[in-house]
Structure formats: C-alpha cells, structure tokens
Amino acid sequence: MYAFDYHKPSSVADAIAVLKKADDGTFVAGGMTLIPTLKQRLAQPSDLIDLGGVKELVGITVSGNTVTIGAMTTHAAVAKSAEVAKAIPALAALAGGIGDPQVRNRGTIGGSVANNDPAADYPAACLALGATIKTDKREVKADDFFTGLFETDLAEDEVIVSVSFPTADKAAYMKFDNPASRYALVGVFVAKTAGGAKVAVTGAGQNGVFRVPEMEKALSANWSADAVAGLKVNAGTLNADIHASADYRAHLITVMAKRAVAAAG
C-alpha cells in the first residue's frame, strides 16, 4: 500500500469538498474492492475519503411500492432487514449471498453499484427491478447507470446517496459461483414487474451486467421456466476465462434463468 491522506467527513457535502481539494482523491465505501487494490499497489490515490462517517447515507426505508436503501447500508443489514424481506424477498436473499460474512458486514450497496464489478450481484438486481440510483446531484435509471466494465454514469465528484427499488410481483436471483472467488460466474435476476418481465445477467457479459430482451419477451408472454428453456444468449458477447468458456456461460445463463423463474414462483 502506498501512503495516502485519510479523511472521514460526516456529511456528503464535506466529502465532496474534501475530494475537490485533493490531488487525486477517491471515495471509499466498504472498501471491499478498493482496499485489496491498494494493498496490491494497483492504485495510488493521494487521499482516501471514507464515507463511513456519513450517517445520512445509512438506512432502509420502505414506502408504498418502493424500497430505498441508503448507499452506505451494508449487505448484512439488507439481508437481515425484515422490511426488505417482505417487500422484495429476492433482494434480501441476494444481499445475504454476497461474499462471506466479513464482506457482508463491511461491503455496501453504494460501493457495489459505484464499482460496477462485472461479477457483482447488486447491478443485476438494479437492472431487473428497474432501480433508480439517487446521487447528490440527480436521479439516474439503472438502465442508464451501468455503462461498462467498472464504468458507470457517475461523475468523479458525485456521491451515490441511495438506491430505490420498485417492488415486483415476483422476483428471484440465481447465482452460479466462480468456484475459486465465489463471485458470480453467472448470476441471473428475474423479475415480474408492472412493466413486464425483466431479466438481468451479471458475471458473464463482456461489458458487465446486461438485460436479455428475448427472455424478457418470452417471460412477459408466459412466466414459466419453460419459456426461457430454449433461449440462449449469444456466446460471442460473453466472457471466457479459466473457469468458464463463453459457451459454458451462455448455457449457465439459460439454466440459472430457468431456476430463477422457478424459484420466483
């Protein structure tokens, strides 16, 4: 790890002010990606601005048909929230399946969404549920937010405040673990929403999380596992690595989609 100046502001405004003053500052939320990156000397920020002291970013509220999760809310808090479990059980289950207990108690939804790791779980939920990402400046639809591998629509000095998820009639997330890292080798989030069925895939796409319109169309017409059984994502758009070829990932997307629909009921 290289040396850096550490700050722990108590408000979003202060955090942004500190960042603007820094040569090459960076926000840290739970640090589940950034800290290992720093330890491996793969990043050298001048300043680390810890959002852990910003209380306004923590908390879960359910109002009407919307679940709003503060950006600094940990995965563990989402996983054990009775309100989330009641409103969108698939979201609570997804949070409970991220990483391991240590990660779930440090990692945050804001950090996960801002980092947009192509194998992270939350981005799939955001796309399939049609979430809205609220920042200190604006509100962005999930479909517009995730722009590529580790890339989002977020400006450098912009802070995610919360993520709001509309409830769904039915939803489920099925993750197939990378055997080594246990990140999603393929994760499929399916949701039956007022605006039709949505299917989002993480872990597999060359450009990160993506939706599968053919499956959405099929499920909108017929919400059943059989409806997606014959549909396959083009392997040419998928990742290949030592753990899974693109063909295997394409196959797993279909299998996980079927299982997710079955699990959603």
Partner 1 sequence: MPDGGTGIGAAVKRVEDKRFLTGRGNYTDDINRPGQTYAYILRSPHAHAKINKIDTSAATSAPGIVAVFTGADMQVGSIPCGWQIHSKDGSPMHEPAHPPLAQGKVRCVGDQVAIVIADSYSQAKDAAEKIVVDYTPLPAVVDMSKALSGKTLVHDEIGTNLCYDWAIGDEALTDAAFAKAAHVTKIDIVNNRLIPNAMEPRAAIGEYDQATGEYTLYTTSQNPHVIRLLMGAFVLSIPEHKLRVVAPDVGGGFGSKIFHYAEEAIVTWASSRVRRPIKWTADRSEAFMSDAHGRDHVTHAELAMDSEGKFLALKVDTKANMGAYLSTFASSVPTYLYATLLAGVYTTPVIYCNVKAVFTNTIPVDAYRGAGRPEASYLLERLVDRAARELGLSQADIRRRNFIPTDAFPYQTPVALQYDSGNYTATLDSAQKAADVDGFAARRKASEARGKRRGLGYSTYVEACGIAPSAVVGSLGARAGLYESAEVRVHPTGSVTVFTGSHSHGQGHETTFAQLVSEKLGMPMENIEISHGDTNKVQFGMGTYGSRSLAVGGEAIVKALDKVIAKAKKIAAHIMEASDSDIEFKDGVFTVAGTDKTLPFGQVALTAYVPHNFPHQELEPGLDEKAFYDPLNFTFPGGCHICEVEVDPDTGVVTVERMTAVDDVGRVVNPMIVAGQIHGGLAQGIGQALLEGCVYDEDGQLLTGSYMDYTMPRADNLPSFSVGTETTLCTHNSLGVKGCGEVGAIGSPPSVINAVVDALWDLGVRDVKMPASPQVVWAAINSARPAAAAE
Please report, as ranges, the residues that interact with partner 1 according to CB under 8 A: 1-2, 40-41, 176, 179-181, 183, 242-245, 248, 251-252, 255
Residue placing its CB nearer to partner 1 in the complex, 17 or 229: 229
Rounded Cα–Cα distance for residues 167 and 202 (Å): 20
Residue placing its CB nearer to partner 1 in the complex, 3 or 23: 3
Q: Please state the separation of Cα 58 from the chain's center in Å.
A: 17
- Least separation in angstroms between residue 55's CB and partner 1 is 33
Note every long-range contact of 85-91, with CB atoms under 8 Å and residues 24 or more positions apart, other chains counting.
86/62, 87/62, 87/167, 88/129, 88/165, 88/167, 88/168, 88/171, 89/171, 90/125, 90/168, 90/171, 90/172, 90/173, 90/189, 90/191, 90/264, 91/67, 91/125, 91/129, 91/165, 91/171
- Least separation in angstroms between residue 128's CB and partner 1 is 21
- Least separation in angstroms between residue 228's CB and partner 1 is 13
Residue placing its CB nearer to partner 1 in the complex, 177 or 214: 177
- Least separation in angstroms between residue 255's CB and partner 1 is 5
Residue placing its CB nearer to partner 1 in the complex, 81 or 112: 112
